[in-house]
Structure 1
């Protein structure tokens, strides 16, 4: 059995993707700074006979992410799929003219240093397996900057650039890297942005291994 590792585990998209990948036979490593979320999700997944464990880490702390992913692989088995989709902090979204250089430290740690630490932690195991998938989930500001949300606009774009470089560099090693852009809010019951719909989309991206950038729905004009 291999492991699906989810960085940014929560009760919406996180639970839906954990359930979808768990139903396909993967153990599930849930990574979040909220132990309350981890305990709740583990119980929910156990009801579906999915093997899951929680590992506390903060997306702003690369060292804690590395430790959590190593612990997850030791406890559950090699990580074949990594999904990086923590929810950005509200204070990352200041208007561009109110954003100082220091204001970009946390968004860039969250969206660049965090992903780099996670990839470096799981890539050796994927190479040993001979396969792997790295999934990055971002909002629409990754490709359409919003001057009212400067931090995420800058940091998501940087994350996308990093992921795109990985896509090209790792393709010869059978490690597929993809980005899913979700332009608006995740809304239960919505045609394109319901958590279960998005979870199926992410699983399909993993299985099809086709292309780098995918959109949950078209970007607004």
Structure 2
């Protein structure tokens, strides 16, 4: 049995994707800062017959993030699918002219150092399996810079570049890296940006392995 590891577990998209990959037979490792929230999510999944465990960690604390992923693989089985989708923090959202050099430290750690650390933990296990999937979830500022949210625009663009290099480099090893862009808010209305629909989309990206960048909905004009 292999593991679906979710960095940025929460009650919306995170729970929906955990449920979808768990229903497909994967054990589920949930990683987020709030241990109490993780307990609630694992209980929800257990009611659906899905084996899941929570691992408290902060993506801005590389040591805690890597320790969580190592523990998950040891407890649940090798990580075949990694989803990196934590929600950016509010203070990343300053306008560009209010953003100084120091203001970029946390967004870049969140969106570049965190993914790089996570990938480097799970990659050896994927290579042993002979397969793997790396899923990155971002907002529209990853592909269309928004001067109102400079921190995420810069950091998401860097994350996109990193993920694209992984896609190009690891494809020959049967390790697929892909990005899902969600242009607006996640909405619990059954539409294309609702949690269940997005979870199905991410599962399809894992199974079909078709291309790098995918859009939940077209970017607005």
Give TM-score scaled by structure 2 length. Answer: 0.99
Q: Distance in 2 between matches of 1:177 and 1:204?
A: 13
Q: Distance in 1 between matches of 2:134 and 2:172?
A: 14
Q: Which residue of 2 aligns with 1:59?
A: 59
Q: Which residue of 1 aligns with 2:123?
A: 123
Moved beyond 4 Å, runs of 4+: none
Q: Distance in 1 between matches of 2:30 and 2:182?
A: 21
Q: Which residue of 1 aligns with 2:109?
A: 109
Asked if 1:169 is matched to 2:181, the reply is no
1:190: Cα distance to partner? 4.5
Q: Give per-residue Cα distances to partners, 1:115-161, cap 9 Å, x unaligned.
A: 00000000000000000000000000000011000000000000000
Q: Distance in 2 between matches of 1:190 and 1:89?
A: 26
Q: Which residue of 2 aligns with 1:18?
A: 18
1:105: Cα distance to partner? 0.2
Q: Distance in 2 between matches of 1:213 and 1:125?
A: 24
Question: How many positions carry a matched residue from both structures?
Answer: 221
CA RMSD of aligned residues (A): 0.5
* Structure 1 unaligned regions, length at least 5: none
1:92: Cα distance to partner? 0.2
**SS at 1:153 equivalent:** helix
Asked if 1:76 is matched to 2:71, the reply is no
* Structure 2 unaligned regions, length at least 5: none
1:206: Cα distance to partner? 0.2
**SS at 1:103 equivalent:** helix
**SS at 2:133 equivalent:** strand
Counterpart mapping for 1:1-221 below 5 A: 1-221=1-221
Contact 2:27 2:50 in 1 (8 A): yes
Q: Give per-residue Cα distances to partners, 1:77-121, cap 9 Å, x unaligned.
A: 000000000000011000000000000000000000000000000
Give TM-score scaled by structure 1 length. Answer: 0.99
